[in-house]
Amino acid sequence: IAYEAGQGDGAEARWEPPRWREQLQRIRQMRSGRDAPVDEMGVHRCYDTSAPPEVMRYQVLLALMLSSQTKDQVTSAAMLRLRRRGLTVDSVLQMDEESLGQIIYPVGFWRNKVKYIKQTTAILKQKYGGDIPSTVEELVQLPGVGPKMAHLAMHIAWDSVAGIAVDTHVHRISNRLQWVKKETKSPEQTRVALEGWLPRDLWKEINWLLVGFGQQTCLPVNPRCSQCLNQDICPAAKRL
């Protein structure tokens, strides 16, 4: 699938959704307050900015692993408790699973995450000298790390944009706005579809923008269409 290179430079006309720029601009306007949970307690706020670079990157990855199917408030609190213990590769390796579980509880699927964190941390120590990998391909090989986490790790930890990070909010809203040519069934399908037309300079912004919009306005159940600036140009507004 040729969605990495040559964005729109071929002879073939590239598909893009009608009025998407107008929709995007209105979402930016609605997000201008930067007061959604993701803004105040998202992964980019969970790591120690004064830590050495490799420790900071490790903390970013750990926060991402904890954040899966967990509210930002819960992830943020768990990271704070971990950081109070001195959150490094070595400190986690020295911690037994029971202690780690007590610290990260009540994040979603915390028992599985304890196992994944211990396994991944051991791999980072052995294979990467305590740092995290710098490619999506290597990141997704780590236990408990999926494509969305890998792309966000690249954005936040390495300041590199290898692709779009698509979570349930981005997946849901992209389908509601019909930013995908045909309905997609999974976040990974949505990522491929979005990367096919969305200009690359927007790839990093779109996750932050749509996650907060999904937390505040375009909710999974009972979306607040009456408060949405896109109500008149959103294909889903009349159906919801």
Q: How far is it, in rounded angstroms, from Cα 64 to Cα 146?
A: 10
Provide CB contacts within 8 A for 157, sequence distance 6+. Answer: 56, 57, 60, 61, 132
Taking CA 198 as the corner, what is the angle to CA 194 and CA 204, rounded to the nearest 5 degrees?
Answer: 90
Catalytic residue among 113, 118, 148, 204: 148
- The yes-or-no answer on residue 185 being catalytic is no
Token readout for 210 is 């749509």
Tell the burial category of 163 from Cβ atoms under 10 Å away from its Cβ (0-12, 13-18, 19+).
buried
3-state secondary structure 31-61: CCCCCCHHHHHCHHHCCCCCCCHHHHHHHHH
Q: How far is it, in rounded angstroms, from Cα 77 to Cα 79?
A: 5
Q: How far is it, in rounded angstroms, from Cα 189 to Cα 210?
A: 17
List, by residue number, the catalytic residues: 148
